[in-house]
């Protein structure tokens, strides 16, 4: 079954410290992976994606993520957290059809609430 | 980047009435739009995939007669919650796929529906 796991419901970090939000996936074939951020009562904002190429992907607002095929992970990172980074973060993978083609559907993880303390 | 809008941003309706939510792609043409539902502190649940000019594809467990989807143009999809009940209260989010950047979905700001 295709799925995305975000093992931490919440991550707490002090402002200025590095942050990591974890994501692992299960999908056949090469994955298309995404990170989105959601602020309260708002829709999702795209942060970054991995399709192919360099395993380290750089995105918006100083975030980056590293694709690790052997560990089936796509952890989100930022070298120095800001209080304004506090939000709900979703990892997603594009679904695959039985024959291996990609669908348009996104499969989301359950989300991780990032709390950055001043 | 591509912009997707939703209207209204919030709505309160009485039980038994119907509510229509609009999703528009403002600066691109979206052949495919998606409707999600999000419960408090939970992930997004895909309800249906809306394709311009054809019937929507509903996910398992979603009542097509209750959640009517119309995608009449390349920039507009609507979700109508018919005969709403309090359990339909939720945050509804749409997204649109820009064919020019085929891997990305752009999300609307969401609509908070409260059924009293």
pLDDT tens digit sequence for B4-59:
999 999 999 999 999 999 999 998 888 889 999 988 777 889 999 998 888 899 99
Q: Which residues contact A103 (CB under 8 A, 6 or more apart)?
A: A94, A95, A96, A97
Q: Residue B97 — very low, low, confident or very high, per pLDDT cuts 50/70/90?
A: confident
**Residue in B35, B40, B107 to test binding to A, most A beta-carbons within 10 Å:** B107
Residue, of A38 and A97, whose pLDDT is higher: A38
Q: What is the structure's pLDDT at B2? A: 79
Find the Cα–Cα–Cα–Cα dihedral B24, B74, B95, B71, rounded to 10°.
Answer: 90
Q: In this model, does residue B63 exceed pLDDT 80?
A: yes
Give pLDDT tens digits for A105-116: 888 999 999 999
Opening angle at CA B62, ends B86 and A99, nearest 5: 155
Instruction: Please give, rounded to a whole number of angstroms, the shortest distance from the CA of A79 to a CA of chain B.
Output: 25
Contacts of A93 in chain B (CB under 8 A): none
Residues of A13-29 as b/e, b for ≥16 C-beta within 10 angstroms? Answer: beeeeebebbbbbebee
Cβ contact (<8 Å) for A104 and B97? yes
Instruction: Please give, rounded to a whole number of angstroms, the shortest distance from the CA of B42 to a CA of chain A.
Output: 6
Report the pLDDT averaged over residues A91-103: 72
Task: Determine contact, residues A74/A68, Cβ cutoff 8 Å.
Answer: yes
Contacts of A32 in chain B (CB under 8 A): 103
Q: In this model, does residue A47 exceed pLDDT 60?
A: yes
């Amino acid at each position: 079954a295709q799925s995305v796991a975000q093992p931490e419901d919440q991550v707490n970090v002090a402002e200025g410290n590095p942050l990591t939000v974890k994501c692992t996936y299960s999908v056949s074939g090469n994955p298309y992976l995404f990170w989105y951020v959601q602020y309260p009562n708002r829709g999702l904002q795209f942060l970054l994606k991995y399709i192919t190429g360099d395993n380290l992907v750089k995105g918006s607002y100083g975030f980056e993520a590293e694709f690790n095929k052997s560990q089936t992970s796509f952890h989100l990172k930022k070298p120095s957290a800001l209080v304004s980074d506090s939000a709900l973060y979703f990892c997603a993978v594009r679904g695959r059809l039985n024959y291996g083609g990609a669908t348009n559907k996104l499969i989301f993880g359950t989300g991780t609430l990032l709390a950055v303390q001043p | 980047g591509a912009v997707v809008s939703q209207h209204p941003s919030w709505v309160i309706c009485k039980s038994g009435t119907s509510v229509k939510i609009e999703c528009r792609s403002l600066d691109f043409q979206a052949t495919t739009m998606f409707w999600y539902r999000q419960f408090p502190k939970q992930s997004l649940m895909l309800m249906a995939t809306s394709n311009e000019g054809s019937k929507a594809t509903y996910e398992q467990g979603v009542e097509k007669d209750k959640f009517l989807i119309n995608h009449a143009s390349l920039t507009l999809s609507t979700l109508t919650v018919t005969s709403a009940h309090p359990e339909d209260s939720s945050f509804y989010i749409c997204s649109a796929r820009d064919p020019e950047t085929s891997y990305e979905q752009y999300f609307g700001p969401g609509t908070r529906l409260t059924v009293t």
